[in-house]
């Protein structure tokens, strides 16, 4: 029974989640482009916004990049981690960013709860999302403290698992023996990925990359050529 | 030379009576939707005053427009590299509190209140939350210097005025003000377009109207901060920026924009100008005192055969060139030089120009009435109740010369017309004044006709849009009132 | 005729190939699942030496024991209880997903290996010479990762704690079992520990090290280090974790201060301060 559940959670759920992300995002972009927006509420409340959004975004950005690095180049992480002091530097920075993210998330909740204007622009799915993110980040921080050193064992144990997912031959033996908190972190991560295209998170997909190299001024002509 | 055409606007402030009809016309057409309730694409400010949003001209705080930096210009608020760290929280973004919280009234209470000893009242309700609120501010809260002296005293244009001048300006029974109607300037070097990380804002090649592509806007909010005139507004409900569209659906069908059309004082003029797009950057980078002349030099003579040839090469329609030759804007800006750009020091090269207002002189009761003519024919210009420095801060990029030139010419035209129609002033004197104001009799006659006797067709010389096939033009705009907005024909559904 | 012969050769060849593939797979299986407790001809570890086990007991009994050792012990089987006693009460763990067929392959393998002079599963034989300080130091270097493992395995430090690895301690993937200070005692010395290291048997380590097994000299140094730490080291305290958490909190607080400094000139409000200033 346990085996079937593990299989469902670690070998089926990932594909369902990523499939949902891809299909729904594309469909939403094609049929409801207008809804692709970060739905910023800075205009309605400007002071607490700083203390919520800045720590959250910087925290989550570093953390996500860290996970991505461990996934893409586990060797580099292990090489960096080949000295206890370097492990300490990496892990303390990562933990600080995790705590920063958590502070930002709680500040977001406090900010939205305390301002009646903001409640008007808070949808049920926003609430679901923020709860899931808090769970996710709290689990991450917990794991960092209770099960060190994640940067190393992630690269050794979870990277092969994630890679096995990518090669369409899921090998769940890497995760089934992981501590419960780690398992929950993985499951919730896939749930967030699945929820992603139904939320305001889609703004991540349209980050303004051409800005850095486009011409300063944008001119559009009826005849279609843009200069 | 890269000739482009541009719809350019003139507001003749001497004729503005501050009735807000323009604002209402605009509001009823474009900004009656949820989320746009606080926006006033057209608003009328009382000067001196802090305007809407409060103190928008204070770029130390708002960081709008461009600044000189290492020999070139850059946006004050953001830029290509600076957008990255600032995208999560825009450090120069004003909040609704700096505009106002939009409200309506609980009118139903007037009908439904139970019988009682008091008259029922209609309390103000927030249009955002639906709760009762205490109204603290509005889009024209300091209208006619009403309510409080706080606003007028804090007008950023008072910078450089002496204490005496300030006291004079606000002295009881002498205090004076004028109106300053504002719409988007559809700048030649728009800061909002340059700041948009998504490339959602753009300038239309054919008529220079600056628009926000609602499908590409992602609510990064850079445009709101970057526009020094605070004329890009953030729709708090849809999470998209919106701004004045110069009523392009009307303009494309040959009608004047709603605010122009409805103007009671007939202060507004609209016409095409041709300008050299290759020199925008160079001109934007000039020293502040050369900016006004620089922008004038960008605007090309539409009758010059060389310009016409270059315009044709750029695909500008014959009808547009012809329209430019009849443009009232070109006359005001370039021929007569009596229309001046607002705050040229923001370096966006605005395409809305203002004819500065005349104001009463500081009256000193003397025997023989007030119209005593002294040696200095234009003494009343320099001793206007509105200090020249104030107008210069607003329209002259700090230079009083540009403003007084415009005012002297206006006064000379008046005196010339007085000599013609009333006759209590000698034509000799009038001609002397015209000469000193650098104005010929023919020009004076033209100015008089275009300011006093102007018809619809004189004021609005709108070129055919050549967009006959455009989908939008064939649809009924009222079909989507309060739902669709503009630009595309699916509802502006807020994202999840 | 020749055609038929060649066909036969082909079939035989395929069969042989299959058999050898099967043998190879079983060998790997043995290595992963059995070798941490058993040798073939290398002497007793936690479990008995399996050399000649098929002669000591019949296959039926052996198969049922391998498939479910606990059930056999619980049934009160005399020989099973004797084995339990010899193993000092350690019940042999049930291998996940094993069945009678797999057990049969294992017994075939054991039988074949027992017949050999020297089985590949004889285990590692470490001399009883005392370890040098150099061995111990090398062991620590391998443990912390300063000296990387030749076959690409991650350093022990990633998941395990032991003395001499710094203020914040080593990893604790499993908070209870991860401390290896006294592992030398737990596994009763050099032989068992070194054999265990040859093929780590916990599910987590198994999956990581199945393609990255340790070299003999690496095992030697590690055993040296573990012996030394068992004799002189203190089991790591939870305070290391607290220190780590504290560092994280301080880091986050510093970041907040930094944000405030960087964006010190950020826009907050214009209208309200303007109005409030007059009210005073």
The ipTM, to two decimals, is: 0.92
Structural Rg of chain C based on CA atoms = 28
Residue numbers of chain B with a pLDDT score lower than 50? 367-368, 372, 469-471
Residues pairing with B211 in the sheet: B202
Q: DSSP class of residue B384? A: B
Domain assignment present for residue A64? The answer is yes
Q: What are phi and psi of B68, to 5 degrees?
A: -75, 140
Higher pLDDT, A33 or B191: B191
Domain assignment present for residue A217? The answer is no
Judged against a pLDDT cut of 70, whether residue A40 lies above it is answered with yes
Provide the pLDDT for residue A227: 47
Residues pairing with B74 in the sheet: B67
Cα–Cα distances (Å) from C220 to B9, B181, C32, C131, in that order, read: 88, 87, 20, 9
- Each as own residue / partner, the long-range contacts of residues C257-260 (CB below 8 Å, 24 or more positions apart, any chain) are C259/A50, C259/A54, C259/A55, C259/A58
What is d(CA B331, CA B443) in angstroms, rounded to the nearest whole number? 10
Chains that touch C (3 or more CB pairs under 8 A): A, B
What is d(CA B374, CA B362) in angstroms, rounded to the nearest whole number? 15
Print burial letters for C216-247: b (CB count within 10 Å at least 16), e (below 16).
eebbbbbbbbbbbbbeebeebeeebbebbbeb
What is d(CA B277, CA B289) in angstroms, rounded to the nearest whole number? 21
Domain assignment present for residue A22? The answer is yes
A83 touches chain B (CB under 8 A): no
What is d(CA C241, CA C168) in angstroms, rounded to the nearest whole number? 7
What is d(CA B220, CA B240) in angstroms, rounded to the nearest whole number? 9
Highest mean pLDDT among A86-90, A220-224, C8-12, C233-237: A86-90
Report the interhelical angle of C239-262 vs A124-146 (nearest 10°).
Answer: 130
C93 touches chain A (CB under 8 A): no
Interface mutation target, options B53, B61, B63, chain C, most CBs of C under 10 Å: B61
Using DSSP, how many helices (H) and how many strands (E) does chain B show?
22, 14
* Residues in Cβ contact with A222 at an 8 Å cutoff, skipping those fewer than 6 apart: B204, B205, B206, B466, B467, B470
Cα–Cα distances (Å) from A8 to A16, A193, B182, B184, C29, in that order, read: 10, 16, 62, 57, 26
**How far apart are the CA of A54 and the nearest CA of chain B, in angstroms?**
6
**How far apart are the CA of B382 and the nearest CA of chain A, in angstroms?**
40
**How far apart are the CA of A46 and the nearest CA of chain C, in angstroms?**
6
Domain assignment present for residue A227? The answer is no
The pLDDT-based confidence of C103 (bands split at 50, 70, 90) is confident
Q: What is the mean pLDDT of residues A144-154?
A: 90
Please list every residue in chain B whose beta carbon sits closer than 8 Å to the beta carbon of residue C279.
none
Considering the entire predicted model, what is its pTM? Answer: 0.85
The SS3 assignment for B45 reads strand
Q: The tokens of B36 are what? A: 């746009």
Q: State pLDDT tens for residues C155-203.
A: 888 888 888 787 788 888 877 778 888 888 887 778 888 888 887 877 7
Query: In the block, which residue shows the tokens 């009881």?
Result: B172
Give the distance, in angstroms, between the CA of residue B313 and the centroid of all CA atoms in the same chain: 32
B94 touches chain A (CB under 8 A): yes
What is d(CA A153, CA B80) in angstroms, rounded to the nearest whole number? 38
What is d(CA B39, CA B44) in angstroms, rounded to the nearest whole number? 13
Interchain pair A218, B199: CB under 8 A: yes
Nearest to C174 among A83, A173, A179 (CB): A179
**How far apart are the CA of A137 and the nearest CA of chain C, in angstroms?**
14
Domain assignment present for residue A220? The answer is no
Interchain pair C270, B55: CB under 8 A: yes
Q: Are B461 and B271 in contact (CB under 8 A)?
A: yes
Which residues of C sit within 8 Å Cβ distance of B?
262-263, 265-267, 269-272, 274-275, 277-278
DSSP codes joined into one string, B204-220: ETTT--EEE-TTT----
Q: State pLDDT tens for residues A174-213.
A: 898 889 999 999 999 999 999 999 999 999 999 877 888 8
The total domain count for chain A is: 1
Cβ atoms within 10 Å of A181's Cβ, excluding its own? 15
Judged against a pLDDT cut of 70, whether residue C41 lies above it is answered with yes
CATH of the domain at A60: 1.20.950.20
Show which of residues 220-279 on chain B sit within 8 Å of chain C, judged by CB atoms. Answer: 225
Taking CA atoms, what residue in C is nearest to A182? C173
Show which of residues 49-108 on chain B sit within 8 Å of chain C, judged by CB atoms. Answer: 50, 53-55, 58, 61-63, 85, 89, 91-95, 97-98
A220 touches chain B (CB under 8 A): yes
Q: Are B62 and B228 in contact (CB under 8 A)?
A: yes
Cα–Cα distances (Å) from C79 to C55, C93, C97, C246, in that order, read: 14, 17, 25, 55
Cβ atoms within 10 Å of B392's Cβ, excluding its own? 21
Provide the pLDDT for residue B471: 47
Provide the pLDDT for residue B469: 46
Please list every residue in chain A whose beta carbon sits closer than 8 Å to the beta carbon of residue B492.
34
Between vectors from CA B157 to CA B17 and to CA B21, what angle results, nearest 5°?
Answer: 20
Of A62-71, A102-111, C102-111, the one with minimum mean pLDDT is C102-111
Q: What is the mean pLDDT of residues A42-50?
A: 96
What is d(CA B117, CA B134) in angstroms, rounded to the nearest whole number? 24
The answer to whether the peptide bond before residue B48 is cis (omega within 30 degrees of 0) is yes
Provide the pLDDT for residue C6: 58
Provide the pLDDT for residue C239: 79
Q: Are B92 and A46 in contact (CB under 8 A)?
A: no
Show which of residues 222-261 on chain C sit within 8 Å of chain A, judged by CB atoms. Answer: 241, 244-245, 247-252, 254-256, 259
Please list every residue in chain B whose beta carbon sits closer than 8 Å to the beta carbon of residue A210.
199
Report the interhelical angle of A13-31 vs A180-195 (nearest 10°).
Answer: 20
Q: State pLDDT tens for residues B391-441.
A: 999 999 999 999 999 999 999 999 999 999 998 889 999 999 999 999 999
Chains that touch A (3 or more CB pairs under 8 A): B, C
Between vectors from CA A210 to CA A204 and to CA A215, what angle results, nearest 5°?
Answer: 150
Show which of residues 121-160 on chain C sit within 8 Å of chain A, judged by CB atoms. Answer: 144-146, 148, 153-155, 157-159
What is d(CA C145, CA B351) in angstroms, rounded to the nearest whole number? 67
Domain assignment present for residue A221? The answer is no
Kindly state the helix (H) or strand (E) to which residue B178 belongs, with its residue range.
strand B178-182
Q: The tokens of C33 are what? A: 């699942």
Cβ atoms within 10 Å of B378's Cβ, excluding its own? 16
Q: Are C256 and A55 in contact (CB under 8 A)?
A: yes
The SS3 assignment for A213 reads coil
Q: How many CB pairs under 8 A join A and C?
A: 147
Burial of residue B164, with CB atoms counted within 10 A of its CB: 0-12 exposed, 13-18 middle, 19 or more buried? exposed
Domain assignment present for residue A84? The answer is yes
Q: Is the Cα dihedral C15, C19, C21, C25 positive or negative? A: positive
What is d(CA B45, CA B180) in angstroms, rounded to the nearest whole number? 5
Cα–Cα distances (Å) from B324 to B270, B316, B352, B451, in that order, read: 10, 11, 16, 19
Residues pairing with B276 in the sheet: B3
Range of A13's domain? 2-212
Q: Regarding beta strands B43-47 and B299-300, do their DSSP bridges make them parallel or antiparallel, or are they unpaired?
A: unpaired
Picking from B230, B219, B331, B350, the residue whose alpha carbon sits closest to that of residue B283 is B350
Query: In the block, which residue shows the tokens 């006359």?
Result: B331
Q: State pLDDT tens for residues A3-24.
A: 789 999 999 999 999 999 999 9
Domain assignment present for residue A226? The answer is no
Cα–Cα distances (Å) from B34 to B124, B126, B483, in that order, read: 17, 12, 9
Report the interhelical angle of C2-33 vs C100-115 (nearest 10°).
Answer: 90
């Amino acid at each position: 029974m346990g085996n079937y559940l593990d299989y469902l959670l670690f070998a089926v759920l990932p594909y369902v989640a990523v499939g949902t992300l891809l299909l729904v995002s594309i469909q939403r972009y094609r049929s409801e482009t207008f809804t692709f927006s970060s739905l910023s509420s800075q205009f309605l409340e400007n002071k607490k916004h700083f203390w919520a959004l800045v720590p959250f975004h910087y925290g989550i950005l570093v953390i996500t990049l860290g996970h991505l690095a461990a996934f893409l180049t586990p060797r580099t992480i292990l090489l960096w981690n080949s000295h206890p002091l370097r492990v300490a530097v990496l892990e303390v920075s990562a933990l600080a960013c995790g705590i920063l993210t958590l502070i930002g998330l709680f500040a977001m909740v406090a900010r939205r709860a305390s301002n009646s204007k903001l409640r008007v622009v808070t949808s049920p799915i926003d609430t679901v999302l923020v709860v899931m993110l808090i769970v996710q980040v709290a689990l991450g921080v917990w794991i960092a403290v209770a099960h060190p050193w994640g940067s190393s064992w992630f690269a050794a144990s979870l990277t092969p698992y994630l890679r096995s997912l990518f090669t369409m031959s899921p090998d769940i033996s890497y995760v089934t023996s992981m501590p419960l908190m780690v398992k929950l972190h993985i499951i919730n991560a896939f749930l967030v990925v699945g929820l992603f295209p139904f939320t305001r998170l889609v703004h991540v997909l349209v980050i303004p990359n051409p800005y850095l190299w486009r011409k300063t001024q944008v001119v559009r002509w009826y005849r279609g050529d843009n200069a | 030379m890269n000739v482009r055409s541009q719809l350019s606007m003139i507001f003749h402030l001497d004729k503005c009576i501050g009735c807000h009809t323009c604002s209402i016309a605009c509001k009823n057409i474009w900004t009656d939707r949820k989320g746009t309730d606080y926006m006033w694409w057209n608003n009328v400010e009382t000067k001196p005053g802090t305007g809407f949003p409060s103190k928008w001209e204070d770029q130390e705080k708002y960081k709008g427009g461009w600044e000189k930096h290492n020999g070139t210009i850059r946006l004050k608020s953001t830029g290509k590299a600076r957008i990255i760290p600032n995208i999560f929280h825009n450090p120069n973004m004003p909040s609704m509190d700096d505009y106002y919280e939009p409200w309506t009234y609980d009118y139903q209470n007037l009908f439904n209140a139970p019988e009682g000893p008091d008259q029922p009242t209609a309390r103000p309700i927030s249009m955002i939350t639906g709760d009762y609120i205490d109204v603290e501010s509005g889009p024209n809260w300091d209208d006619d210097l009403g309510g409080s002296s706080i606003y007028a005293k804090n007008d950023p244009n008072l910078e450089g005025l002496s204490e005496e001048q300030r006291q004079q300006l606000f002295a009881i029974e002498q205090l004076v003000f004028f109106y300053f109607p504002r719409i988007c300037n559809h700048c030649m070097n728009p800061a909002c377009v340059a700041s948009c990380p998504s490339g959602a804002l753009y300038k239309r090649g054919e008529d220079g109207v600056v628009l926000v592509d609602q499908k590409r806007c992602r609510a990064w909010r850079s445009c709101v901060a970057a526009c020094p005139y605070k004329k890009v507004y953030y729709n708090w409900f849809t999470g998209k920026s919106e701004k004045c569209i110069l009523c392009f659906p009307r303009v494309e069908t040959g009608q004047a924009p709603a605010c122009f059309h409805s103007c009671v004082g007939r202060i507004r003029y609209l016409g095409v100008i041709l300008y050299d797009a290759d020199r925008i950057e160079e001109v934007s980078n000039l020293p502040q005192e050369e900016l006004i002349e620089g922008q004038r030099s960008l605007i090309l003579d539409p009758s010059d055969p060389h310009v016409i040839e270059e315009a044709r090469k750029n695909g500008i329609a014959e009808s547009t060139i012809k329209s430019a030759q009849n443009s009232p804007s070109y006359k005001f800006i370039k021929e007569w030089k009596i229309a001046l750009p607002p705050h040229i020091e923001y370096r966006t090269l605005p395409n809305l120009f203002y004819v500065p207002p005349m104001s009463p002189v500081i009256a000193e009761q003397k025997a023989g009435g007030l119209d005593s003519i002294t040696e200095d024919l234009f003494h009343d210009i320099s001793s206007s109740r509105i200090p020249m420095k104030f107008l210069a801060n607003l329209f002259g990029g700090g230079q009083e010369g540009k403003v007084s030139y415009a005012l002297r010419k206006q006064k000379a035209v008046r005196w010339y017309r007085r000599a013609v129609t009333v006759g209590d002033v000698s034509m000799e004197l009038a001609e002397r004044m015209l000469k000193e104001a650098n104005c010929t009799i023919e020009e004076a006659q033209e100015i008089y006709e275009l300011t006093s006797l102007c018809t619809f067709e004189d004021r609005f010389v709108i070129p055919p849009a050549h967009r006959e096939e455009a989908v939008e033009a064939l649809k009924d705009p009222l079909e989507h009132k309060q739902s669709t907005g503009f630009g595309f024909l699916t509802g502006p559904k807020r994202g999840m | 005729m020749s055609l038929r012969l060649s066909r036969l050769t082909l079939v035989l060849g395929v069969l042989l190939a299959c058999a050898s593939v099967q043998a190879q797979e079983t060998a790997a299986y043995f290595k992963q699942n059995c070798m941490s407790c058993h040798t073939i001809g290398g002497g007793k570890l936690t479990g008995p030496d399996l050399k000649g086990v098929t002669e000591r007991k019949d296959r039926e009994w052996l198969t049922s024991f391998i498939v479910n050792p606990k059930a056999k012990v619980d049934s009160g089987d005399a020989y099973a209880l004797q084995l339990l006693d010899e193993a000092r009460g350690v019940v042999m763990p049930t291998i996940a997903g094993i069945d009678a067929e797999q057990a049969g392959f294992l017994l075939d393998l054991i039988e074949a290996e027992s017949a050999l002079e020297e089985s590949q599963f004889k285990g590692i034989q470490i001399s009883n010479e005392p370890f040098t300080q150099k061995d111990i130091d090398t062991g620590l270097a391998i443990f912390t990762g300063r000296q990387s493992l030749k076959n690409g395995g991650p350093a022990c430090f990633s998941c395990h704690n032991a003395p001499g690895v710094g203020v914040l301690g080593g990893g604790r993937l499993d908070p209870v079992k991860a401390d290896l200070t006294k592992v030398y005692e737990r596994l009763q010395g050099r032989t068992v520990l070194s054999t265990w290291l040859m093929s780590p048997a916990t599910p987590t380590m198994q999956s990581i090290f199945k393609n990255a097994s340790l070299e003999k000299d690496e095992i030697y140094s590690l055993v040296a280090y573990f012996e030394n730490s068992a004799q002189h080291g203190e089991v790591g305290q939870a305070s290391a974790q607290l220190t780590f958490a504290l560092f994280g909190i301080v880091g986050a607080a510093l970041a907040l201060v930094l944000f405030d400094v960087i964006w010190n000139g950020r826009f907050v409000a214009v209208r309200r301060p303007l109005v409030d200033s007059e009210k005073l």
